[in-house]
């Protein structure tokens, strides 16, 4: 029996490989605090955090998780110091350049959720290139929430539907939950079953507000730069102990 045989656990009877969440979402939090604890500039934490994202994306592919969504930069993060924002954007550029070289071999697709118009023309061009390449790749999909806010996403979707109604293309009664989902950045992506927030904070911070309706939450004190494969295992193990009833009653 191989290491990833679904008939046995991944780690000595713990992770059930036959009941993995199809979609995991993570709020990558704690980079600044991690750096501060070590007397380093906040930008150093973001650099280490970017490497952790690469590691966790590869691990999700290894496990067989189909979708990984990460909160990389919120609509509120523009309020941070200019040098910190510049570092984050520089790391994003570096990651996309590396992804273009390796994503086909690693079989990791990239998709971006958020309003990308404030990004530099260079970054927007890289996003378009990775999007085009991703359509040709069959593998885990890593969704990167960039200049993203859950409320902003819902407002944009509502306005898009309202415009279609005003143009006579749709009628208000045609709007269902499923139809509304088609107007979101996440259109075509199943809702996350598990949302993880490291760093000790216990709030969503405007992340996937529509999609989280029946997600299971997992909070831990680990700062994102210290987040490891074992941390993800612990979150999945905890998730697999939950009784997911979706508003119903257990029979």
Residue 65 covered by a domain: yes
Q: What is the mean pLDDT of residues 194-212?
A: 97
Helix, strand, coil percentages, rounded to 5, for the chain: 45, 15, 40
Strand, coil or helix: what is 66? coil
123, 92 Cβ separation under 8 angstroms: yes
At 115-129, the pLDDT tens digits run: 999 999 999 999 999
At 39-92, the pLDDT tens digits run: 999 999 999 999 999 999 999 999 999 999 999 999 999 999 999 999 999 999
State how far the Cα of 28 lies from the Cα of 227, in Å rounded to an integer.
Answer: 9
- The alpha carbon torsion through 69, 81, 55, 23 (nearest 10 deg) reads -10
Provide the domain limits for residue 105: 21-149+190-240
Q: How many domains does the chain fold into?
A: 1
pLDDT for 102 equals 87
Residue 248 covered by a domain: no
Residue 5 covered by a domain: no
- Nearest partner of 88 among 56, 120, 111, 121, judged by Cα: 120
What are the structure tokens assigned to 113, written together?
A: 């959720």
Which residues make Cβ contacts (< 8 Å) with residue 163, sequence separation at least 6?
A: none
Residue 33 has pLDDT above 90, yes or no: yes
Active site positions, annotated: 29, 77
202, 221 Cβ separation under 8 angstroms: no
State how far the Cα of 154 lies from the Cα of 212, in Å rounded to an integer.
Answer: 13
Residue 63 covered by a domain: yes
Read off the pLDDT band of 148 (50, 70, 90): very high
What are the structure tokens assigned to 169, written together?
A: 């293309």
CATH number of the domain where residue 196 is located:
3.40.1180.10
196, 27 Cβ separation under 8 angstroms: yes
Residue 163 covered by a domain: no
Residue 179 covered by a domain: no
Residue 251 covered by a domain: no
Residue 178 covered by a domain: no
112, 126 Cβ separation under 8 angstroms: no
């Amino acid at each position: 029996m191989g290491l990833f045989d679904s008939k046995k656990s991944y780690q000595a009877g713990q992770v059930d490989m036959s009941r993995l969440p199809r979609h995991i979402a993570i709020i990558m939090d704690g980079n600044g605090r991690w750096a501060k604890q070590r007397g380093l500039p906040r930008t150093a934490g973001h650099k280490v955090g970017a490497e952790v994202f690469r590691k966790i994306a590869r691990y999700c592919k290894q496990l067989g998780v189909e979708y990984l969504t990460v909160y990389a930069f919120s609509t509120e993060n523009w309020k941070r110091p200019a040098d910190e924002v510049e570092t984050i954007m520089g790391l994003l550029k570096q990651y996309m350049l590396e992804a273009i070289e390796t994503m086909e071999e690693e079989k990791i697709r990239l998709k971006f959720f958020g309003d990308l118009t404030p990004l530099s023309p260079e970054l927007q061009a890289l996003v378009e290139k990775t999007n085009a390449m991703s359509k040709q790749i069959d593998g885990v999909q890593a969704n990167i929430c960039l200049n993203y806010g859950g409320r902003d996403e819902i407002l944009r979707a509502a306005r898009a539907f309202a415009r279609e109604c005003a143009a006579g293309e749709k009628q208000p009664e045609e709007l269902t939950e499923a139809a509304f989902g088609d107007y979101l950045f996440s259109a075509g992506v199943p809702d996350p079953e598990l949302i993880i927030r490291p760093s000790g904070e216990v709030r969503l911070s405007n992340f996937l507000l529509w999609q989280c309706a029946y997600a299971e939450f997992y909070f831990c004190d680990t700062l994102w730069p210290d987040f490891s494969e074992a941390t993800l295992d612990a979150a999945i193990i905890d998730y697999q102990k939950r009784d997911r009833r979706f508003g119903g009653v257990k029979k």
